[in-house]
A and B are shown apart, each in its own frame.
Chain A
Amino acid sequence: MKDSLVLLGRVPAHPDSRCWFLAWNPAGTLLASCGGDRRIRIWGTEGDSWICKSVLSEGHQRTVRKVAWSPCGNYLASASFDATTCIWKKNQDDFECVTTLEGHENEVKSVAWAPSGNLLATCSRDKSVWVWEVDEEDEYECVSVLNSHTQDVKHVVWHPSQELLASASYDDTVKLYREEEDDWVCCATLEGHESTVWSLAFDPSGQRLASCSDDRTVRIWRQYLPGNEQGEVHYLSCRGGMQRLLTQWKCICTLSGFHSRTIYDIACLTGALATACGDDAIRVFQEDPNSDPQQPTFSLTAHLHQAHSQDVNCVAWNPKEPGLLASCSDDGEVAFWKYQRPEGL
């Protein structure tokens, strides 16, 4: 099992600090990392090694917690504990901060671009999720402030093809949001985790949502649309007697007993998930080939102990090169791995 995840290299991305998050650009050629040293670094390959191509250092006054590339790959958004979100425009190897989004009352924990590239979401310790709209002139406007969570919101992520937003919180829930009649509303709350939900990832098809938690489990949720084949029908009767069909999300799988500490991050490929754990390990799970899509089962196909010398904060699959995985840790390092699907699966 050890051979299925092989180390390709390590870089001291944020020395004497924590590396909090990683994001591959849509082309898969660059990796952005951010950390407690308030800097963002952009990494690219030169031959066989990874080198730092740019350092974005004047953007934030405090830790940069997350970074996210726009779908076109020309912009990078960074979320910081200084309560702001910076938007950087890429000009070859240079990045220029073109806008700073303010409004959150305290630490911004996450930022994510919608697949259309016109919307951005941020979330914060102030318990709110903000949705921003960007126009052709790079002007950002706040479209909605959502106060649905009752505690710190840790992560936001967009559905790969629908304008559907998901958020994870210290209040143990995952919430989903969509635009209804010109306003954004919370359209579903996923309950089940017994502690903070740290991260979320949609699978590439968008049919499933994976969540990971301080309760040391991974949960997979599936969307059941109105008129679905399982015969699950859900109605809501509103004032005025009108009935609306709701989509419902169900937990179809729980992976427990595999992680010995908090799971901080999860990354999905079709049929495979990688997890970043507080026990310094990286794990990869593969969906069993004959499992029922309504009740899938997963097997642990890679378990790398001591992937880092401290908590692993993030794992990210390269969007173009199959099996290429990047990870980062409290030890300040970024590591690159090659995942080989084990024989017989």
Chain B
Amino acid sequence: MAGSQDIFDAIVMADERFHGEGYREGYEEGSSLGVMEGRQHGTLHGAKIGSEIGCYQGFAFAWKCLLHSCTTEKDSRKMKVLESLIGMIQKFPYDDPTYDKLHEDLDKIRGKFKQFCSLLNVQPDFKISAEGSGLSF
């Protein structure tokens, strides 16, 4: 008696069973595709931010050397802002994308960089592109 119940169950519930299997397979497939897409997205965005901050850091270190010998009063503000910028860049959490103040701190770095450029009277033109340097004639 129990045996025949199972057989009927197998037939009657076939639709639902296949549905469930299909759903689970689809879910797993979708999840792994999602993880890949997310990783690509993260890599791209992370690279952009890293590239931007890297540019600021290189710029800051270069100017630190250039301004090394300057000791006038006017230059004291430049040095202070420069040290502040370098400090902010070094404190930036590169290995924690879930840091809740990530964008706020990034905006502060951008602001400090702009202020420093204004004090130097320099307008830098960084071309941050994935394709490498873009030379045009």
Shortest CB-to-CB span from B124 to chain A, Å, is 12
Residue A147 contacts which of B77, B107, B119 (CB distance < 8 angstroms)? B107
The answer to whether B118 touches A147 (Cβ under 8 A) is no
Contact string, B99-137, partner A, CB cutoff 8 A, digits 1/0?
A: 000000001101110110111000000000000000000
CA distance A54 to B84 in the complex (A): 44
Which residues of A have CB within 8 Å of B118? 102-103, 130, 141-142, 145
Contact string, A127-142, partner B, CB cutoff 8 A, digits 1/0?
A: 0101000000000011
The interface size of chain A toward B, counting residues with CB under 8 Å, comes to 13
Q: Closest chain B residue to A148 by CB distance?
A: B107
18 pairs from A and B in contact (CB 8 Å cutoff): A102-B118, A103-B114, A103-B117, A103-B118, A141-B119, A142-B114, A142-B115, A142-B118, A143-B115, A144-B111, A145-B110, A145-B114, A145-B118, A146-B111, A147-B110, A147-B111, A148-B107, A183-B84
CA distance A252 to B112 in the complex (A): 35
Which residues of B have CB within 8 Å of A143? 115
**Those 5 A-B pairs whose CB atoms lie nearest each other, nearest first:** A145-B111, A147-B107, A142-B118, A145-B114, A145-B115
Q: Closest chain A residue to B77 by CB distance?
A: A141
Which residues of A have CB within 8 Å of B115? 142-145
Which residues of A have CB within 8 Å of B112? 145
Q: Which of A142, A144, A145, A183 has the most CB of B within 10 A?
A: A145
Q: Closest chain B residue to A104 by CB distance?
A: B114
Shortest CB-to-CB span from B91 to chain A, Å, is 13
Which residues of B have CB within 8 Å of A103? 114, 117-118
Q: Closest chain A residue to B113 by CB distance?
A: A145
Q: Closest chain A residue to B117 by CB distance?
A: A103
Shortest CB-to-CB span from A303 to chain B, Å, is 42
